């Protein structure tokens, strides 16, 4: 345990993260590498598994460094907070400029398809809301919360223009939930929620026929099985093929061109096919233990800023897990939200581990320090 503590202050969290990552790495290898074992293997087959592993290694050491060396209270600073918010908005704006300059219909990446600023914007918004609530205390005036709503909606609209409507709504939803945990007065909280709901409905309505097709496919995938309902049906087939025990790592069929986002949006379906109900249950148990452990840590935090910051990271992780699960089994309309630490995505991996690093910094400076003094 002491050797693990040199990497991250809470060994339980570290071990759970490692197990979840290994589950994802094995699945990505199964999608990108295993089918070509008996053919001529190219470096391209190993690109995504390698990047996934490297991003986890870099992220976990960054999380460890933050938890050991960084005083999270330095983030509770107006100048630094607004520098981060300005940086976030600037990156999202650069993505839009790049999109319009290149006349692309969709663009969500800063450089190629490697860096997605929206993943880091989620974390910056969590830090901003934690700072704002800790400074204002009990918010019972609409004018106090209007600025938070403006910052959240500004990010959401920039994402909407990429277009990434799912992420735009995700940011509003996570901000709304975090405000509730921050103790905002219901008299203010409910109108802000109604405003966020209105903005979300507006973005869905402006989506036009593309959004309508997704909702129709969600309600009845068989209505258009070769287009809008295709991925939903292929996801169902993955779980059916897998049954209780699964077909075995590398033996799944849906990854062979049938399910095109097999290592990203629909990676849970591949896990269901190759590892069966047992595999999905095991992964779900790991997630449950991880979230429970992080909640346990957050409940022992007495500092308002640190507590809200930790809760925000947990909300981000929990929403991502639930949406990814629900999308794979068609309880929610199709939307590409990566499964944390499992789906391929360098930006998502690094942003999530940065959040874990901040919780580690709070854990080390508040909880372990207090225990050592007793």
State the pTM of this model.
0.93
Does residue 113 have a pLDDT over 80? no
Percent of the chain with pLDDT over 90: 53
Lowest model confidence (mean pLDDT) among 161-165, 283-287, 323-327:
161-165
CA angle 114, 118, 121 (to 5 degrees): 125
Average pLDDT value over all residues in the chain: 88
Highest mean pLDDT among 211-225, 253-267, 345-359: 345-359
Residue 371's pLDDT band, with cuts at 50, 70 and 90, is: very low
- Rounded CA separation 271/284 (Å): 11
239 and 279 Cβ atoms separated by less than 8 Å: no
- Distant-in-sequence, close-in-space partners of 367: CB < 8 Å, separation ≥ 6: 297, 300, 301
Does residue 38 have a pLDDT over 80? no
Does residue 210 have a pLDDT over 80? no
249 and 279 Cβ atoms separated by less than 8 Å: no
- pLDDT digit string (tens) for 39-93? 666 667 788 899 999 999 999 999 999 998 888 989 989 999 999 999 999 999 9
Lowest model confidence (mean pLDDT) among 45-49, 180-184, 216-220, 292-296:
216-220
Percent of the chain with pLDDT over 70: 93
Does residue 272 have a pLDDT over 80? yes
């Amino acid at each position: 345990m002491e050797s693990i503590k040199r990497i991250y202050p809470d060994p339980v969290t570290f071990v759970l993260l490692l197990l979840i990552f290994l589950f994802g790495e094995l699945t990505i290898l199964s999608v990108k590498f295993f089918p070509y074992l008996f053919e001529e293997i190219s470096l391209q087959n190993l690109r995504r598994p390698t990047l996934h592993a490297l991003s986890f290694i870099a992220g976990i050491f960054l999380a460890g460094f933050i938890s050991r060396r960084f005083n999270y209270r330095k983030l509770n600073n107006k100048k630094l907070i607004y520098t981060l918010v300005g940086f976030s908005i600037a990156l999202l704006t650069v993505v839009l400029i790049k999109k319009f300059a290149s006349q692309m219909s969709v663009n969500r990446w800063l450089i190629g398809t490697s860096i997605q600023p929206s993943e880091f914007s989620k974390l910056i918004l969590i830090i901003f809301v934690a700072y704002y609530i800790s400074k204002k205390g009990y918010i019972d005036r609409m004018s106090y919360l209007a600025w938070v709503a403006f910052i959240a909606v500004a990010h959401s609209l920039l994402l909407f223009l990429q277009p990434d409507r799912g992420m735009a709504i995700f940011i509003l939803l996570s901000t709304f939930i975090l405000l509730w945990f921050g103790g905002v007065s219901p008299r203010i909280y409910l109108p802000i929620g109604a405003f966020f709901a209105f903005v979300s409905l507006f973005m869905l309505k402006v989506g036009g026929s593309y959004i309508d097709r997704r909702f129709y496919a969600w309600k009845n995938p068989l209505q258009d099985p070769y287009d809008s309902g295709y991925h939903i049906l292929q996801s169902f087939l993955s779980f059916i093929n897998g049954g209780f025990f699964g077909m075995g790592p590398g033996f799944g069929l849906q990854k062979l061109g049938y399910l095109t986002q097999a290592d990203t949006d629909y990676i849970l379906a591949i896990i269901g096919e190759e590892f069966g109900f047992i595999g999905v249950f095991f992964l779900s148990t790991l997630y449950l233990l991880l979230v429970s452990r992080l909640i346990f840590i957050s409940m022992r935090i007495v500092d308002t800023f640190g507590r809200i910051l930790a809760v925000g990271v947990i909300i981000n992780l929990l929403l991502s897990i639930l949406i990814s699960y629900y999308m794979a089994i068609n309880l929610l309309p199709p939307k590409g939200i990566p499964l944390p630490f499992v789906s391929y995505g360098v930006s998502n991996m690094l942003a999530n581990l940065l959040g874990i690093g901040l919780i580690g910094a709070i854990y080390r400076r508040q909880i372990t320090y207090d225990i050592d003094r007793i």
